[in-house]
Amino acid sequence: MSTSTIAPQTLTAKDFVTDQEVRWCPGCGDYSILAQVQKVMPTLNIPKENIVIISGIGCSSRFPYYMNTYGMHSIHGRATAVASGLKASRPELSVWIVSGDGDSLSIGGNHTIHLLRRNFDVNMLVFNNQIYGLTKGQYSPTSEEKKVTKSTPYGSIDHPFNPLALAMGADATFIARSMDRDVKHLQQILIRANQHKGSSFVEIYQNCNIFNDGAFEVFTEKSSKADEALFLEQGKPLVFGATQNKGIKLDGFKPIVVEIGDKYSIDDLWIHDEADFYKAQILVRMFDNPQNADHLPRPFGVFYQTERACYEDVMAMQIEEVITTKGKGDLDKLLRGREVWEIA
């Protein structure tokens, strides 16, 4: 037997590439996400053999095949549940869930909320492209109302999910949003997600150039990005705009856009605090349709982070406590039970 462990310090992005041909459509946003994950992984100082990537079904869920780590391409919607069992039984592993908007919010919506409330220490990456790609173009639970797709020729009548508000409602302990096109930002968020102890919910806007091209264009294209995307930074005021000329101010509980200048200064603006539970609820609700007049910009970054005990740790602790107080289980004692009689 030979065991070839590579010290994590010497790993490079290349070590995470597999010999499998990547099968996404040319131009798909998934390529960038894969590249960023492969870039970030070697910086995390985790032995490669301890990394496991679990996915469900959908375009995004092909991900594990392209990562030279342990991985499982499971069934539709259940990656979160598979990951829960793995993490509960092997807390020392670094478990990453890769899922899409249909996988994690439609067929697997139930498992997603339960994963978050239990707060397993895993990283959940939701590639949101607001469409069903693998099944060739039906609307998804994040598609906007009135969307015309193969299954909605007269326009979708479904009201879409706000994924981050859902995560907030499920008491997620780390909530963030990034995008495929902003590679630096995405790398930063991936690192932050990994640093967080607990379930990290990361929504990544991902362009499906075949069935929903340009869904996030306003946030990613140079011409509009500055006015439409609001980048959150801890301890910093919420400013945006081409010349950092606009900001968000709280008017009671209502966020409003103000021009920085004569009337308002930087000091009037909302200062971002990831630990503020109540403000985070307002922040995740900044979800206006960019087509609407007077809409708010869409925030990106870490919305919320808090500490809460992780399921797998408490589970292990309970076992330890029982063993400390009662001693290790004795099979013969168990088989014997309380009352025994003998027949000669």
Partner 1 sequence: MNTNEQVLQEVVIKFAGDSGDGMQLTGQQFTNNTALLGIDLATFPDFPAEIRAPIGTMAGVSGFQLHFSSNKVYTPGDSCDVLVAMNAAALKANLKGLKKGGKIIVNTDGFDSKNLRLANYPDGVNPIENGSLEGYEVTKIDVTKLTREALKDIAELGTKERDRAKNMFVLGYIYWMYNRDLKSTKDFLQEKFGKKEVILQSNIKVLQAGYNYGDTTETFTTRYTVEKAKLPAGKYRSIMGNQAVTMGLIAASEKSGLPIFLGSYPITPASDILHDLSKHKAFGVKTFQAEDEIAAITSAIGASYGGSLGVTTTSGPGMTLKAEAMGLAVMLEIPLLIINIQRGGPSTGLPTKTEQSDLMQAYYGRNGECPMPIVSASTPSDCFEAVYEACRISVQHMTPVIFLSDGYIANGAEPWKFPQSADLKPIDVKFKKGLDEGEEKYLPYKRDEKLARPWAVPGTPGLEHRIGGLEKQDITGNISYDTDNHQHMVKTRQAKVDKIADYIPLQTIDSGAATGKVLVIGWGSTYGSIKSAVLDLQAEGKSVSHVHLRHIRPFPRNLGDIIKNFDKVIIPEINNGQLVKIIRDHYFVDAIPYNKIMGIPITKTELVDFIGKMC
Kindly list the residues in this chain that would bind ligand SF4 in the complex (CB under 6 A).
24-25, 28, 30, 59, 129, 133, 208-211
Q: DSSP letter at 96?
A: E
> Which of 40/115 has CB closer to partner 1?
115
Task: State the Rg of the chain over Cα.
Answer: 23
- As measured in angstroms, the least distance from the Cβ of 96 to partner 1 is 12
Does position 287 bind partner 1 by CB under 8 A? no
25 binds, among ligand SF4, partner 1, none (CB under 5 to 8 A by kind): ligand SF4
The enclosing H or E element of 323 equals helix 311-326
299's enclosing H/E stretch is: strand 298-305
Contact 68, 113 (CB under 8 A): no
With CB cut-offs between 5 and 8 Å by kind, which of partner 1, ligand SF4, none does residue 28 bind? Answer: ligand SF4
The widest CA-to-CA distance across the chain, in whole angstroms, is: 101
Shortest distance in whole angstroms from residue 11 CB to partner 1: 12
The β-bridge relationship of strands 246-251 and 239-240 is antiparallel
Give CA separation, 298 vs 32, 140, 147, 288, 311, in Å: 21, 20, 20, 7, 32
Binding residues with partner 1: total (CB under 8 A): 64
Among 49, 217, 227, 276, binds partner 1 (CB under 8 A): 49
Q: What residues contact residue 253 under an 8 Å CB cut-off, 6+ apart?
A: 282
**Among ligand SF4, partner 1, none, what binds residue 54 when CB lies within 5 to 8 Å by partner kind?**
partner 1
Asked if residue 4 binds partner 1 (CB under 8 A), the reply is yes
Residue 198 touches which member of partner 1, ligand SF4, none, C-beta under 5-8 Å by kind: none
Count of alpha carbons within 13 Å of 4, Cβ hemisphere only? Answer: 2
Residue 63 exposed, middle or buried by CB count within 10 Å (0-12, 13-18, 19+): buried
Q: Which of 70, 152, 169, 250 binds partner 1 (CB under 8 A)?
A: 70
When binding is defined by CB under 8 A, the residue of 32, 36, 74, 173 that contacts partner 1 is: 74
Return the one option of partner 1, ligand SF4, none that residue 72 interacts with (CB less than 5 to 8 A, by type): partner 1
How many Cα atoms occupy the beta-carbon half-sphere of 247 within 13 Å? Answer: 21
Contact partner at residue 24 from ligand SF4, partner 1, none, CB < 5 to 8 Å by partner kind: ligand SF4
Decide: is 9 part of the binding site for partner 1 (CB under 8 A). no
Residue 239: closest CA among 202, 272, 203: 272
Q: How far apart are CA 192 and CA 185, in angstroms?
A: 11
Q: Identify which of residues 79 and 215 has a Cβ nearer to partner 1 in the complex.
A: 79
Q: Which is nearer to partner 1, 293 or 334 (CB)?
A: 334
Among ligand SF4, partner 1, none, what binds residue 251 when CB lies within 5 to 8 Å by partner kind? none
Binding site for partner 1 (CB under 8 A): 1-6, 18, 20, 47-52, 54, 57, 64-65, 67-75, 78, 81-90, 92-93, 110-111, 114, 315, 318-319, 322-323, 326-329, 331-332, 334-337, 339-344
